[in-house]
Amino acid sequence: MQYTEAQILKVLADVFAQSDSRVIIGIGDDAALVNGSAQQILTTDLAIEGVHFRLDWSSAYEIGKRAAAANIADILSMNGKCDYLLVAAALTGRESIDWIRDLAQGIQDQAVSAGAVVIGGDLSQGEKFSLAITAVGSTDKAIKRSGAKVGDSIFLSSLTGWSAAGLEILTKILNPSGKEVATALNEYRAPTLDLATDFSAATSMSDVSDAIMIQGEQMAHASGVRFEIDCDEIALSEEFKDLSTLASQLGADVWSWILQGGEDHCLLATGTELPGIRIGFVVAGTGIGATRGGAEIKMAPVAWSHFSQD
C-alpha cells in the first residue's frame, strides 16, 4: 500500500468538495445531515470487480461513472430527481492514488450532471474492489411500474442495445471501425443518462438495467396488461441505423442487442404521447412479445439473472 487512509480521505474530500445549500453536515462526521423532502426515493446497488465490471475493460473513471449512473437511473425511472449519493468502496490496496482519484471523479461528474451531491460514504478493504452506491432522490409524483393501461403506447428515452454492442466488442475482442464503435464502447463503459427526456406524463416507467424484454414484462405483469414491442417502429428511429450498421459489421443480431441487452439505463415508459422513441403498444393480456413485419420474433430466453438455476 502506497498511501494511508488519511491520504485517500484527503483525495476524496477534494474531489467531492461541493458547496451545496442542501447539505448541512457533509463528509467527516458519523453520518451526513441534509435537507430532506416530503417524498423521497431511495435505491442502492453493489458492484464488484469481475462480476459487474472488469478492470482491463474500463478505466477507474468509467467504473465510477457507470456505478453512479446505475443508481441515478433508478431515481429517474420513478420520475425523480437525484439529490444525494453515498459511496462505500472496498479497496484491495493495489489501486494507485491516481486510480482512486479517477474513480471518485467519475462518480462526481455523473452526480453533478444529474444535479446530485456526494454526501458521504465508507472506505474499507477487500480482496476484490467493490463499490456500493446509494442514491437519494425526491419527486412530486412518483411513477411506478404498475400504471400501464391498455391503449397506451410504449416509449424508450433513447435506443437500447449500445451497451450490449460494446460488451460484445470487448468479449469477442473485435476491432470494428466507424463512429458507432466509440458510442458502443462508451455506453457499455459509462452509460449516458437520459436526463433531458421528460417522461413525467408516463403512466408507468422503469429503467432498462436488464433488458426491454425483462423490464417490459415486469411492467406488464405489475400493470395487468401485455406489452407488444413493434420492431418496425424501432427501426424508424435515427439511432437504429447506426446500431444496425455496427451489428452488420460484426455479424451480430441487432434485435438481440436492442431487446435482450442490458445496462443501457435508458427509460422505458408507457403513456399516450411521450417524447423519445415509440416502440410498441399496451394491449389486454399478459406478458411481452415482439413483432417484426407483423410476425412474432422468437428469441432465446434471456439469461440476465445474477443467479442461474442448475
With respect to its own copies, which residue has the nearer C-beta, 221 or 292?
A: 221
Tell which one of 10, 13, 14, 50 touches its own copies (CB under 8 A).
Answer: 50
Which residue stretch of 78-86, 156-164, 228-236, 249-257 sits at the interface with its own copies (rule: CB under 8 A)?
Answer: 78-86
Question: Residue 298 or 306: which CB sits closer to its own copies?
Answer: 306
Nearest to 157 by CA among 75, 278, 298, 260: 278
Select the span of 99-107, 120-128, 192-200, 236-244 touching its own copies (CB under 8 A). 120-128
**To the nearest whole angstrom, how small is the minimum distance from the Cβ of residue 250 to its own copies?**
28
* Residue 35 beta carbon to its own copies: minimum distance, rounded to whole angstroms: 7
**Distance of closest approach, residue 118 Cβ to its own copies, in angstroms:** 11
**Measured from the CB atom, is 50 or 178 closer to its own copies?**
50
String of DSSP letters for 135-190: EEEE-SS---SS---TT-EEEESS-S-HHHHHHHHHHTT----SHHHHHHHHHHHS
Q: Does 40 bind its own copies (CB under 8 A)?
A: yes
* Interacting span for its own copies (CB under 8 A) from 126-134, 176-184, 227-235, 243-251: 126-134
By CB under 8 A, tell whether 224 contacts its own copies.
no
Q: How far apart are CA 111 and CA 226, in angstroms?
A: 35
SS3 state of residue 266? coil
Residue 108 interacting with its own copies (CB under 8 A): no
Site for its own copies, residues 238 to 297, rule: CB under 8 A: none
Q: x/- string (CB under 8 A) for its own copies, residues 15-34?
A: ---------xx--xxxxxxx
CB count, 10 Å around CB of 197?
A: 18
Give which of 216, 199, 195, 196 is closest to 271, Cα–Cα: 199
d(CA 266, CA 79): 13
Q: Are 163 and 264 in contact (CB under 8 A)?
A: yes
Q: How far is C-alpha 205 from the chain's CA centre?
A: 14
Give me the least distance between CB of 263 and its own copies, in Å please: 13
* Residue in 27, 42, 170, 302 binding its own copies, rule: CB under 8 A: 42
Residue 227's closest CA among 155, 299, 164? Answer: 155
For its own copies, the binding residues in 135-194 under the rule CB under 8 A are 135-139, 142, 144-146
Q: Which one of residues 20, 55, 57, 88 is an interface residue with its own copies (CB under 8 A)?
A: 88
Matching residue, cell 460488451: 167
Among 123, 170, 195, 235, binds its own copies (CB under 8 A): 123
Answer whether 280's CB lies under 8 Å from 233's CB.
yes
Phi, psi of 276 (to 5 degrees): 85, -155
| Interface pick for its own copies out of 58, 77, 108, 160 (rule CB under 8 A) | 77
Within 10 angstroms of residue 42's Cβ, the number of other Cβ atoms is 14
Task: Determine how many CB atoms are found less than 10 A away from the CB of residue 59.
Answer: 15
Which member of 8, 11, 148, 252 binds its own copies (CB under 8 A)? 8
- Of 177, 202, 143, 182, the C-alpha closest to 62 is 182
